[in-house]
Amino acid sequence: MELRLAIGRDGLGLELGRPVALGPLLVTELAVRLPNVRFPLDVSGGVSRFRHRRGDLSRVAVELRAADLARWAAPRWRGILGAGPVEVWLGVGRGTATVALIDGARVLAFDVVAEAADDELRLAVTEARGSELPAPATALAAAAMDAAIGAIARREGSLFIVSGSLARLARAILPDAGARTPSTAGVHWTGIAGADDAWLLYAAEGGIRAEPTPRAAATREACLIARAADDVRFARAFDAARALDVASLERAPRHPEICRRIAEIDAHAGGRAEAALATLAEAERPPRVAILRGELLAESGDKDGAIAAFLAAGDEEVVPALSARAYERAAAIASGPDEAIVALDRAVARAPSIARIRWARVASRLALGRIEDARADIEHLEAQARGSKARFDVWWRAGAAWRAAGLVVDAAPLFERALRFVPDDPDALRGLGSALVEEGRRERGVLLLARAVELAERRGLDVHAHVVELARALAERIADRPAAIARLRAIPADAREAADARALEGRWRAELGDLAGASLAFARLRERAETFADKAVDDATRRALVGYLAEAARFERDVQRDRLAAQRHLAAALRLSPRDVAIGDAYRAVGAEIAQAARDEAAPPAPSATMAAPPSAAPAPSWERGPGAAAAAHGLGLAEREARVDELTRRMQLDPTDDAVADELTAHLLDLGRSHELLALLSAQIEDAPAERRAALVPKRVAVLERLEADARARGDAAEADLFAALRDALPPD
């Protein structure tokens, strides 16, 4: 640190020899007047001769550059939006600055309005806003300011006051240069200006005090009105802060900042969109609330209003990342790619370096068939990437995007480009292999898919998706279904791809003529699907499972003629998608066929003079005609009983553990003679029932099997009767 003597009309003094950096501040000028030093005087000793004298601070000039402040603040703001670091953006104006913290799609922006009073600096936080925030924007903005200057500033709500700022500067600089700390009496801040990308602050002894700008005065008043609520908000007690904000509106009706604070709390709480929109509508010209209004309109279901609000937010926002995020949100809820692409073009124009938005535009351009434009975006993303792995990721993701758009053949060069950077990546090999298979180069494609499986296994990676892709190529492109089935059999039952594997195995076994093996594979598919019934699964997975189960049901019904198995597949599909009309109709149709078959079997054979008297049917056990069954069937005609069976069946699908419903359904099925359905019902109950319930159900199942055996013998069908007898004998003891 360098000082030099300054000799002027006012006498002798000390001043900085060159600018001094204090954190993000650059002190470009600092002068100390040495009183009681008269001419003529000997200055041959230079600064060392006078540094022991205590002088009076006469003037200060400080420069605060946005880039320096961003670098200094970034580590202090880590964790404000999430666990990781944030990118900082700063824009400077006259006495104001706009600050933005960026963490992916999470963006927090707020304005800082500066005001100087004597030797105090007052920094007020206002117009906080953002997207995907973990807390209301005003609370996060205050937390960010506290993390940055809380060590030197006193917080009063959203107002941060640095007292004795000139004395702090003098103490931070002069003692290190060997000079005494000067007196700061009579010196005060005279101006705060914005120039290019920096704040310039001036202080002088006896100068004209800096006058607050109209915005600074208005912001200070807003901070005073909201001080009590902001203190509570800073402590994250948002409901209490809201109550204080509402009370503040009685003193300052329709105040835009108070209304903003209330609306952002309601938006964060969720479920209060209409109340928050009413609050914003009441405010007196609130600035920069369009993105908040857009989120609230989207929550309330007004899609067109939300899109208009997001577009307006993008147009008015000065923070590029937040402006682009507003356009991105408009594109996300647009009706189609043609509407989305307009917003995405504007988003990319505002923030061309945000890869996430470019990838969204790639998807929209592919959907519109603008292949060359999408390719231009990919090349831009590659130019932004640093290192071979990053460039590989760009081209691999591009290949996946082309495949998702149905452009499988066109994806091959993209995967080849990716493999230039990482030659042995299993995912890229898998994508290229699939593309080559579609292109007609089937043998080479299959070899690459097999290579992908081999490399993934060698590295201990999850290979099941690769195996499914290879099996599809083997079965559907080179007609080697046995090899495909062998690959699928290696996928365990608990794998994520197990449902795909079992469904494809069943399909291809059926095509090979292995009907028993196909039934077994489809049964394993149903077991896997039933594990998803009570879990939250994405729509694509749910649709795929329902489609597989419908295919399994058609196979059992049309090929195997096993309507009971088909009914079980459809029941599992209904548990996954209870409102699926097609599945519901198929389930009812199969049930009607089962009922008709049971009635046909129960009908007595035509009399014949040569036919021997049939053996008497087994007597009905006591539980079949007990008080419960009689009460259930009392007063109901055939049509009513059929309708009641349908209703009880649906209730059983929703809650298979409801024993009362199961007992009533059992009684109706027995009374209607639908023994096959009754057998399926009892079998399903026995599988899932606890021990005490199973003990009561096993005798019922034995009785049903005895009746089916007796009916079969009465019809002269010894093979079917022997089957029912074998099933009865295979039951575990009570």
Question: What is the tens place of the pLDDT at every residue in 511-522?
Answer: 888 888 899 899
Residue 720 banded pLDDT, cuts 50, 70, 90: low
Region at 157 (left for phi over 0; alpha for psi -120 to 50; beta for the rest): left
Angle 397-104-407 from CA coordinates, rounded to 5°: 20
Distance CA 127, CA 120 (A): 23
Distance CA 535, CA 725 (A): 39
Q: Is 230 exposed, middle or buried (0-12, 13-18, 19+ CB in 10 A)?
A: buried
Judged by average pLDDT, the poorest of 210-214, 295-299, 419-423, 595-599 is 595-599
> In 3D, which of 665, 656, 659 has the Cα closest to residue 633?
665
Token readout for 293 is 């209004």
**Helix 515-530 to helix 539-554 angle, to the nearest 10 degrees?**
150
Residue 620 banded pLDDT, cuts 50, 70, 90: very low
Within 8 A by CB and 6+ apart from 328, the residues are: 105, 343, 344, 347, 356, 357, 360
Distance CA 541, CA 498 (A): 12
Q: Average pLDDT, stretch 115-143?
A: 94
- Residue 218 corresponds to which amino acid? A
Rg from Cα positions in the chain: 39
Distance CA 98, CA 130 (A): 13
Token readout for 237 is 């007690």
Q: Yes or no: say if 727 and 703 are a contact pair by the CB < 8 Å rule.
A: no
Token readout for 17 is 């020899």
Average pLDDT, the chain: 84
Looking at the DSSP assignment, which residues form a beta bridge with residue 183?
A: 56
- Kindly write down the DSSP assignment for every residue of 125-188, as one continuous string: EEEEEEES-SS-HHHHHHHHHHHHHTTT-EEETTEEEETTHHHHHHHHHTGGGTPPPPB-TTEE
Q: Yes or no: say if 4 and 47 are a contact pair by the CB < 8 Å rule.
A: yes
> In 3D, which of 599, 597, 525, 507 has the Cα closest to residue 561?
597
The pLDDT of residue 639 is 60
Residue 652 banded pLDDT, cuts 50, 70, 90: confident
How far, in whole angstroms, is CA 321 from its chain's centroid? 19
Token readout for 289 is 């609330």
- Which three-class secondary structure state does DSSP give residue 605? coil
The pLDDT of residue 9 is 67
Distance CA 32, CA 6 (A): 9
Looking at the DSSP assignment, which residues form a beta bridge with residue 101?
A: 88, 108
Q: Yes or no: say if 468 and 491 are a contact pair by the CB < 8 Å rule.
A: yes
Distance CA 648, CA 642 (A): 10
Distance CA 482, CA 512 (A): 8
Token readout for 11 is 């006498």
The pLDDT of residue 541 is 85
Q: Dmax of the chain from CA atoms?
A: 154
> In 3D, which of 34, 40, 26, 109 has the Cα closest to residue 69?
26
How far, in whole angstroms, is CA 409 from its chain's centroid? 31
Q: What is the pLDDT of residues 397-453, one digit of tens each?
A: 999 899 888 888 888 889 888 888 888 888 888 888 877 777 777 778 788 888 888
> In 3D, which of 646, 731, 718, 627 has the Cα closest to residue 682?
731
- Kindly write down the DSSP assignment for every residue of 302-349, as one continuous string: -HHHHHHHHHHHHHH--SHHHHHHHHHHHHHTSSSHHHHHHHHHHHHH
Q: Yes or no: say if 385 and 394 are a contact pair by the CB < 8 Å rule.
A: yes
Sign (positive or negative) of CA dihedral 407, 412, 413, 418: positive
Q: Average pLDDT, stretch 275-297?
A: 92
* Most confident of the following: 71-85, 451-465, 467-481: 71-85
Angle 555-506-731 from CA coordinates, rounded to 5°: 80
Distance CA 137, CA 107 (A): 10
Distance CA 553, CA 539 (A): 21
Q: Yes or no: say if 76 and 147 are a contact pair by the CB < 8 Å rule.
A: yes
Distance CA 462, CA 453 (A): 9
- Kindly write down the DSSP assignment for every residue of 413-477, as one continuous string: HHHHHHHHHSTT-HHHHHHHHHHHHHHT-HHHHHHHHHHHHHHHHHTT---HHHHHHHHHHHHHT
Q: What is the pLDDT of residues 54-66, one digit of tens each?
A: 888 888 999 999 9
Provide the 10 A C-beta neighbour count for residue 271.
Answer: 8
* Most confident of the following: 187-196, 599-608, 615-624, 707-716: 187-196
Judged by average pLDDT, the poorest of 225-239, 445-459, 609-623 is 609-623
Residue 678 has pLDDT above 50, yes or no: yes
Half-sphere exposure of 78 (CA within 13 A, CB side): 8
Which helix H or strand E contains 282, and what residues bound it? helix 273-282
Residue 607 has pLDDT above 70, yes or no: no
The pLDDT of residue 45 is 57
Which helix H or strand E contains 89, and what residues bound it? strand 87-93
Instruction: Please report where in the chains the tokens 């607050």 appear, as a residue.
Output: 212
Q: What is the pLDDT of residues 9-63, one digit of tens each?
A: 667 778 888 899 998 999 999 988 888 766 666 566 556 666 677 888 888 999 9
The pLDDT of residue 277 is 95
Distances (CA, A) of 98 to 210, 293, 334: 21, 20, 30
Token readout for 384 is 């932004």
> In 3D, which of 85, 135, 142, 128 has the Cα closest to residue 322?
128
The pLDDT of residue 676 is 65
Q: Yes or no: say if 30 and 75 are a contact pair by the CB < 8 Å rule.
A: no
Distance CA 717, CA 729 (A): 19
Distance CA 280, CA 712 (A): 76
- Which three-class secondary structure state does DSSP give residue 375? helix
Residue 608 has pLDDT above 60, yes or no: no
Which comes out higher in pLDDT, residue 432 or 90? 90
Looking at the DSSP assignment, which residues form a beta bridge with residue 126?
A: 111
**Helix 290-300 to helix 320-332 angle, to the nearest 10 degrees?**
20
| Length of the chain counted residue by residue | 734
Q: Yes or no: say if 493 and 484 are a contact pair by the CB < 8 Å rule.
A: no
The pLDDT of residue 615 is 42
Token readout for 39 is 């001419």
